[in-house]
Amino acid sequence: MCGIIGIVGREPVADRLVDGLKRMEYRGYDSAGICTLSGGQLVRRRAEGKLANLTREVAEHPAPGEVGIAHTRWATHGAPTEQNAHPHATGEVALVHNGIIENFKPLRDELLALGRKFESETDTEVVVQMLSRHIEEGKSPAEAVRTVLPRLRGAFALAIAFRQDPDMLIGARLGSPLVVGYGEGETYLGSDALALAPLTQDISYLEEGDWVIITREGATIFDVDGNEVERAVTKSGASAAAIEKGNYRHFMQKEIFEQPTVVAQTLRSYVRQLERTVALPQIDFDITSINRVTIVACGTSFYAGMVAKYWFEMFARVPVDIDVASEFRYRDPVLEPGGLALFISQSGETADTLAALRHCKEAGQTIAVVVNVPTSSMAREADLLLPTHAGPEIGVASTKAFTCQLAVLAALAAHFAVKKGRLSKDEERAIVDHLLEAPACLNAALDHDDDIAQMAHLIAPARDVLYLGRGPDYPLAMEGALKLKEISYIHAEGYASGEMKHGPIALIDDHVPVVVLAPSGPLFEKTVSNMQEVRARGGKIVLISDAEGIAEAGEGCMATIEMPKVHPLIAPLVYAVPVQLLAYHVACAKGTDVDQPRNLAKSVTVE
């Protein structure tokens, strides 16, 4: 949600700021803006909509200067207009913000009563006005920041420029991520290491409540109590090349096709191929004492968690609770001693998931995270870090992160079961063998890309689409529906196939395509019976199954999508591919913005 960057440089910064925003556009694309310091003035350029508009604006009206800040916005308070675009500024202070200032109303009233004038509808502008007031009263930038920060409630990462001090910037974070980057005679601020990838690999991750003064010489960091502190400098390893589309039309398409490689890459950290055993990172707690697992996540990561619930219960016989983070944190969940709280997140920064993690930590749970960004807040706050190795995921619709999450979760469930004495050596070997088959099976699933592209026109005109699945294919049905709605804007729902006749079947007519996920296996016949109930009522079926399943039940379907025959354990990974491709090709057929669908952002760092 919003990306920010700041540069105290030795050369003009405008182009580099815009370039940095390009690498963060996935965080929000409602508007963008920059502000540089030049000739004793704050020079601001802003534009509504995609970054291309700002690029044009900066080309037409250059912003000179070697120090500046920039922002790409996902709107929270105030419409996505130029007036509400960051940076927000007075004559003295300009500021970019990622997060939400929850107490902005009383602060705004207080400032209005003092006669200050606002020009936007945003929560952010109160911070600029408060800082400006203190600067006008004669405080230094550092004193002004030190006075204002304790008054802000909510979440923020800030980068602030001061007219009176053109050779430095101040950054601050609470609840939203912010990193400091160290270059050759230059220093940077960024929402993440990726934003700074071409500028530097030397990064410090600010901790909650930290604020920082950056100059060309480096950074001086203060903690929440105002004490000067050191934060370790680490090599980020982020690569700007990883966020190129290559020969693909969209990032989403590239990321779908990367799955065989990144799942194999991820599995390498979780299985020992020669010994055919699962292998987890060093665990500093007694896993056998875990008596309950609580899984919390959002969106696609939540559906990965739902699949994992089946595995944990089936292999390890441990009870699993699962909830979406936004509900979990406010329902006062029962968290008994001996519980493992497992958080799943691509970004590791999703605000609700992070808040739930902190809640569970306070409640004495052991914290495990499955996360794709190893330097994220969740990764840093976990007792057990289980990284996925999917590489940067840029398309807003999550694809490769999902299949990598499933790979890690399957290995974790098996490890749990081994430690609890619930799996024999042979059973463990069989699980490892099946997991190692996954990359090849993903490749075989991708071979059907053309067939799926051919049939997308059958779905593209629909107003509603239903997805059905049973067992671990039920969460996958919901994932398929989520993919379709977020990038094609077609209303879609995923149901447990046996639940259809308890209500949703009333929706069936010949305008509602029903996508049925039914790999042949123990649940096939049950799912097919539910499918026949739909067909008997005129429903148009798209059956996704293997050759055997299609031979048995494909007749009379509007379309079939053939998958390789796979073991039920890896079916959720393999069947993710056709639902991703179907959504992708339908979106292409409709001409929507696949990588940056309307109203969404990749990393949801506000509640």
Q: Which residue has the tokens 């088959």?
A: 437
Which range in 8-16, 77-85, 294-302, 428-436 contacts ligand M6R by CB under 6 A?
Answer: 294-302
Minimum CB distance to ligand M6R smaller for 168 or for 367: 367
425 catalytic residue (yes or no): no
Q: Does 488 bind ligand M6R (CB under 6 A)?
A: no
- Taking CB under 6 A as the rule, does residue 24 contact ligand M6R? no
Q: Which two tokens stand for residue 189?
A: 């601020």
Cβ density class 150-165: b for 16+ within 10 Å, e for less:
eebebbbbbbbbbbeb
| Ramachandran region, residue 115 (left: φ > 0; alpha: ψ -120 to 50; beta: rest) | left
Nearer to ligand M6R, 13 or 604 (CB): 604
Interaction between residue 124 and ligand M6R (CB under 6 A): no
| Site for ligand M6R, residues 585 to 604, rule: CB under 6 A | 603-604
Question: Going by DSSP bridges, is the β-strand pair 202-205/211-215 parallel, antiparallel, or unpaired?
Answer: unpaired
DSSP per residue, 363-400: TT-EEEEEES-TTSHHHHH-SEEEE-------SSS--H
Minimum CB distance to ligand M6R smaller for 21 or for 396: 396
Please give the residue whose beta carbon sits closest to ligand M6R in the complex.
Answer: 299
Sheet holding 320-324, edge to edge: 320-324, 292-297, 339-345, 366-371, 384-387
Minimum distance, C-beta of residue 99 to ligand M6R, in the bound complex (Å)? 16
Q: Residue 486 Cβ, how far from ligand M6R at the closest point, in Å?
A: 6
Phi-psi region of 423 (alpha: psi -120 to 50; beta: other; left: phi over 0): beta
Q: Which of 31, 201, 301, 545 binds ligand M6R (CB under 6 A)?
A: 301
Beta bridge partners of 180: 189, 204
Query: Residue 47 is encoded by which pair of tokens?
Result: 């534009």
398 sits near ligand M6R (criterion: CB under 6 A) = yes
Specify the amino acid at residue 227.
N
Binding mask 252-281 for ligand M6R (x = CB under 6 A): ------------------------------
Among 35, 54, 262, 298, binds ligand M6R (CB under 6 A): 298
Active-site residue, from 2, 298, 404, 441 = 2
Q: Beta strand pairing status for 31-38 and 202-205? A: unpaired
Nearest to 7 by CA among 216, 209, 202: 216
Q: Which residue has the tokens 């990172």?
A: 281
Of the candidates 309, 483, 540, 602, the residue annotated as catalytic is: 602
Which position among 95, 397, 442, 478 is part of the footprint of ligand M6R (CB under 6 A)? 397
Three-state DSSP class for residue 271: strand
Lay out the site mask for ligand M6R across 336-355 (x = CB under 6 A, - = otherwise): ---------xxx--x--x--
3-state per-residue secondary structure call for 59-73: HHCCCCCCEEEEEEE
**CB nearer ligand M6R, residue 444 or residue 600:** 600
Binding mask 507-546 for ligand M6R (x = CB under 6 A): ----------------------------------------
The phi, psi pair for 286, rounded to 5°, reads: -85, 100
2 is catalytic: yes
Q: Does 375 bind ligand M6R (CB under 6 A)?
A: no
Active site residues: 2, 602
Instruction: Name the residues that contact ligand M6R, by CB under 6 A.
Output: 298-301, 345-347, 350, 353, 396-398, 482, 486, 603-604
